Structure 1
Amino acid sequence: MTKVNRARSTSPPDGGWGWMIVAGCFLVTICTRAVTRCISVFFVEFQTYFTQDYAQTAWIHSIVDCMTMLCAPLGSVVSNHLSCQVGIMLGGLLASTGLILGSFATSLKHLYLTLGVLTGLGFALSYSPAIAMVGKYFSRRKALAYGIAMSGSGIGTFILAPVVQLLIEQFSWRGALLILGGFVLNLCVCGALMRPITLKEYQTSQEPNHVCRTQKQDFKRTSPCSTWTKEWVQTCLCCSLQQEYSFLLMSDFIVLAISVLFMAYGCSPLFVYLVPYALSVGVSHQQAAFLMSILGVIDIVGNITFGWLTDRRCLKNYQYVCYLFAVGLDGLCYLCLPMLQSLPLLVPFSCTFGYFDGAYVTLIPVVTAEIVGTTSLSSALGVVYFLHAVPYLVSPPISGWLVDTTGSYTAAFLLCGLSMIFSSVLLGFARLVKKMKKTQVRILAKESDAKLQLWTNGSVAYSVASELDQKDRESVAIAVPGYNPT
């Protein structure tokens, strides 16, 4: 039945089972990104139990986040060569195992390996394949579908944070991790929803691989033990990987990758330092936590509404520009943050930053698909999320070092804001250069067409004149005996 569905699905259905894919991706983002954010709820418990400082305990969250993005290409490879269903289910088993083993931890190093590395690896195998599946099922309403699917991060954080705190109070941090490990097993259910689909573009791109596999099987039949067989297998594997990651040589994707590095550096520190900054300007603990709640809720609104707006006919062709606009505005919010030193001023900041944060997160897969196409979307998203890993790992410590060195948050926030603005300007400049080159090519093409037309008309005129001249000569030769026409 799966093969029949693959053969008949020749174009994105923009609905039908696609909404089940959106629901599955929504649950995947809850079980991965929301659970990662909720790990911060355990920080105080870990500090108290293991008697360690904040810096050492904070590495748990950094390792989970970094592993999720660092191993995203591995998730793409597994889903491409096995299936998306297998990749997400395997990721759910690994993430659940990491959380359950973490509940038996006797040291922070144990938590680094289980809750950090193992759980992060499981999240990586599940996250990027699920997001790529949404792009394969939707074309006309892609931004709206991504907005709904990725809003699971904000909704999950809003719901899970108090629930996890309640579980810690009732069953201690060990019992809470154990229950959370059981909850993450729902990734296996999400994986079961990811029904494969094969598009026309995908079928054409896979024809060389199919021919390669057929020839390889024939060659194995003729010489099963020869060294030529091994060389042929290696060649086919290299060709497959080269075709799968051919987008890495595209200039547009290289520019996107560089801009993602600067964007990821800027977006991460705020979620770590907004509460400490609010406390430093005299806001109470409850009000500072309220700012984070506002940030999470408005993030959901940005996911859904911005996705819906950019799917409208008037903005459909400007989704790339909308992405630049959202990233740039978040950078401007950063630049204004050091001047906001009271709760009435920080609330509008949380609303604005949260909205546009959800907006550009929704458009990352859309912009990537616009550059590389639907066929390579899974692999390209794996690379894009992989590029988030290093900035996510180093930006909070760098910002903390700036705070310790300068004694204020101004330098840290300005650096983050300028990084995001540079990311937006870089992409905008690249798009402007590309349009200018296209305009020059069109002008040159028109000029060459005009010259070709003149040359053709001249050739025709010359050939007609020569024919008339030849006829005149022949007529004279007939009238005058002995006249040579040459």
Structure 2
Amino acid sequence: MATKNRVPMDKDWAWAVVLGTFGSMALVIGTLKSFGVLLVELSHRYDAPASLLASSQSLCGWLHLGLAPVSNILSQPFGHRWVVFCGGILSAIGLVATSFVRDIKWFFITYGIITGFGFGLIVATVLVFPSFYFDKKLPLALGLASSGSGMGAFIFPNLTRFLLDEYSVSGCLLILGGILLHICAFSLLFRPTSYWKNENHETIIKPHYTHKKNSSEKEIEINFEEDEHSELLEVNNPSIITSVAEARSAILAERRLFRTKSLPSLSYATHLCVIKPSNSENNIYSSKMNTEFKISRQICTSSSKVEKHVRNTLKPPFINWELFKDPLFLLINAGVFSALYGHHNSFNFVPPLADELGFSESEGALSVSIVGITDLIGRISGGIIGNAFFKRRIKLFIICLLVFSASSMIVVHVTYFYVFIVFCGIQGLATGGFMGVQISMIADELGREKLSTAWGYVAFTSSFSVLINPALSGAIKDSSCSWKNSFRLSSACGFLGSVALLTEVYIRKRLQKKYPAS
């Protein structure tokens, strides 16, 4: 019998994958969000201005998104589990090394580059991996998984404050580095889908031939049944179908959706695999239609011209330029960039805005906590609502982005603290909503087969918002002597992003009417 697809879609181990993503995101984003707590202590330790230390944080923050295409490329040959595992090792080494350095230059290397590089290998990889285990419940799974970011942002700043008070800055960084090693444990939950194949790891080949009348030519069709896909290999010249060529077909069976009508270069194949007839007859050209051959799926070490050709044909390009030619992808990219710009603005500058509006420091700290906890609630509820009520998550993304933009425009005019924290809560819910559905939105609009590549490019583009937002908002504050204009800018960016995504929806609808079969 053929190999069955036993991947537990939407059930069982799939939720363990969600747990792995949740934990990894909580540790990475929590560490990034707690840098503000470390800032004062680090400035005393290195005798450096806060602006210089903040630039190292910007570098680390940029790398955790900007390396998304790199992590996507590395995941293809090495697997997602190993990429996340290595990212956990690198980020832990970076923080542990930072606890020992006394020079600001080395701080940039250990924290900004090494830790940032580790984070970059982790984030993009864990966010797309649930798509291999979920189908109908993908938006819910991604919403729950991304909520780890909100949980980490809520817990880690308080944990960092406690560690600083108890163990000083060196001990705090050392312990945080040890905590990040738990990412390696979470990576073990990312089982590749090949794990769920049949236990005997055998592929069934069902060959048959048909004799063409008035012709001495025969056809042999070999059908490889593997997982949920069906792969067809047709060979029109039976004179070259030898045990050697059949062995080569075992290699080709490992490639998915491969189809060819003539492979004369199969004669170059070498004896690499063993073919075992399932019945007593050894003649492959028997007229029996149901003869089955079991091929042991050995990993063949030698290469041939056929194997090289297949590998070169199926190898994905280093950069998918066709994706950048797609106007729908470009519009989605612009919308996500605008949304992430506003997201960073809410977390970074709510305290100084509260101070400017006349509220106390404790009230400003409470406002940040309100944004953090409502962001967590928004991510979870966004996944649930998107899974239950929206077939296309881009509509929910647009709604959340518009709500965020409107609240950002209004909050700068508030004079009462309780009204202020209400709008902070609305901002948190809105940002959590669109952050929780952004990946499922990309999967809906561009297709799941393009999700890893598309999200890598979107994350890389959006990573520049981490660099631009602090510098641009600071420049606006210096020129206007007010933080209000930076919030007005983030509101304008949100409205522009909504327009870009609405344009994408309109264009796609027109294309579907024009090409209904596509």
AA matched with 2:354: A
Which deviations, in whole Å up to 9, do the C-alpha atoms of 1:405-450 show, x marking residues without a partner? 01112322111111111111111122112213433456xx9xxxxx
Query: Does the 8 A contact of 2:37 with 2:160 survive in 1?
Result: yes
AA matched with 2:386: T
Q: How does 1:329-368 map to 2 (within 5 A)?
A: 329-368=403-442
Q: 1: distance between equivalents of 2:430 and 2:488?
A: 18
Is 1:180 paired with 2:229?
no
Distance of aligned partners of 1:243 and 1:221 in 2 relative to their CA distance in 1, 3 Å threshold: farther
Query: Does the 8 A contact of 1:260 with 1:387 survive in 2?
Result: no
Q: Which has the higher strand share?
A: 2
Q: 2: distance between equivalents of 1:10 and 1:286?
A: 53
Q: 2: distance between equivalents of 1:283 and 1:432?
A: 44
Q: How does 1:8-407 map to 2 (within 5 A)?
A: 8-9=4-5, 13-197=9-193, 200=228, 207=256, 236=312, 239-241=315-317, 246-312=322-388, 315-407=389-481
Secondary structure at the aligned position of 1:13 is classed as coil
* Cα displacement (A) at 1:251: 2.9
Q: 2: distance between equivalents of 1:189 and 1:53?
A: 37
Q: 2: distance between equivalents of 1:419 and 1:174?
A: 40
Residue matched to 1:420: 494
Q: Looking at CA atoms only, which structure, 1 or 2, has the larger radius of gyration?
A: 1
Deviates further, 123-132 or 334-343: 334-343
Residue matched to 2:293: none
Q: 1: distance between equivalents of 2:116 and 2:270?
A: 42
Q: 2: distance between equivalents of 1:163 and 1:129?
A: 26
Distance of aligned partners of 1:48 and 1:256 in 2 relative to their CA distance in 1, 3 Å threshold: same
Secondary structure at the aligned position of 1:268 is classed as helix
Q: 2: distance between equivalents of 1:188 and 1:386?
A: 24
Q: Which has the higher helix share?
A: 1
Identity in percent? 23
**Structure 2 gap ranges (5+):** 195-226, 233-253, 272-303
Which deviations, in whole Å up to 9, do the C-alpha atoms of 1:178-214 show, x marking residues without a partner? 0000110111111111011267479899536899xx9
Query: Does the 8 A contact of 1:78 with 1:87 survive in 2?
Result: yes
Distance of aligned partners of 1:12 and 1:259 in 2 relative to their CA distance in 1, 3 Å threshold: farther
AA matched with 1:290: L
* Cα displacement (A) at 1:381: 1.8
Q: 1: distance between equivalents of 2:317 and 2:265?
A: 16
Q: 2: distance between equivalents of 1:245 and 1:208?
A: 22
Task: Name the structure, 1 or 2, with higher relative contact order (CA <8 Å, separation 6+).
Answer: 1
* Cα displacement (A) at 1:215: 11
Distance of aligned partners of 1:270 and 1:215 in 2 relative to their CA distance in 1, 3 Å threshold: farther
* Cα displacement (A) at 1:332: 1.4
* Cα displacement (A) at 1:145: 1.1
* Cα displacement (A) at 1:244: 6.7
Which deviations, in whole Å up to 9, do the C-alpha atoms of 1:93-117 show, x marking residues without a partner? 1100100111112122211111111
Query: Does the 8 A contact of 1:279 with 1:285 survive in 2?
Result: yes
Secondary structure at the aligned position of 2:412 is classed as helix
Q: 1: distance between equivalents of 2:231 and 2:138?
A: 21
Query: Does the 8 A contact of 2:91 with 2:115 survive in 1?
Result: yes
Distance of aligned partners of 1:441 and 1:283 in 2 relative to their CA distance in 1, 3 Å threshold: same
Deviates further, 240-249 or 73-82: 240-249
Query: Does the 8 A contact of 1:103 with 1:175 survive in 2?
Result: yes
Query: Does the 8 A contact of 1:12 with 1:139 survive in 2?
Result: no
